[in-house]
Chains A and B, each alone.
Chain A
Amino acid sequence: MKKDRISLAHGGGGSLTKRLIKEAFLPPFRNPILEVLDDSAVFKIEKGRMAFSTDSYVVNPIFFPGGDIGRLAICGTVNDLAMSGARPLYLSASLIIEEGFLLKDLKRIIASMKEASKEAGIEIVAGDTKVVNKGGADRLFITTTGIGIIGEGIDISGVNARVGDVVIVNGYLGDHGVAIISERERLDFRTKLISDCAPLNHLVADMLKASGKIHVLRDPTRGGLVTVLNEVAQSSGVGIEIFEDKIPIREEVKGACEMLGYDPLYVANEGKLIVLIVPQDADKVLKVMHKNKYGRNAKIIGRVVKKPEETVLLRTQIGGSRILDMLVGEQLPRIC
Chain B
Amino acid sequence: MSEIITADVGDVLGYTGEMKRIGAILLKTVLLGISLSLVAGCSDSWNNPYPEATKQANTVYSAFAERPKHLDPARSYSSNEVEFTGQIYEPPLQYHFLKRPYTLIPLTAEQVPQPRYLDAAGKALPGDAPSARIAESVYDISIRPGIRYQPHPAFARDAAGRYRYHALAAADVAAKVQVSDFEHTGTRELVAADYVYQIKRLANPRLSSPIFGLMAEHIVGLKALGESLEKTLKAQPDAVLNLNDYSLAGAEAVDRYTYRIRIKGKYPQFIYWLAMPFFAPVPWEADVFYAQPGMVEKNLTLDWQPVGTGPFYLAENDPNRRMVLKKNPNFHGETYPADGDAADRQAGLLADAGKPLPLVDAAVFSLEKETIPYWSKFLQGYYDSSGISSDSFDQAVQFSAGGDPQLTDGMRKQDIHLITTVSASIWYVGFNMLDPVVGGLGEDRQKLRQALSIAFDYDEFISIFLNGRGISAQGPIPPGLFGYVDGVAGLNPYVYENQAGRIERRSIETARRLLAEAGYPNGRDAKTGAPLVLYFDTMASGPDAKSRLDWMKKQLDKLNVQLVVRGTDYNRFQDKIRKGNAQLFEWGWNADYPDPENFFFLLYGPHKKVTSGGENAANYDNPAFNRLFERMKDMDNGPERQRVIDAMLEIVRRDAPWIFAYYPKSFGLRHGWVHNVKPNLMANNTLKYRRVDPALRDTRRAEWNQPVLWPIALLVGGMVVVIAPAVIAWRRRERTIA
A binds B: no
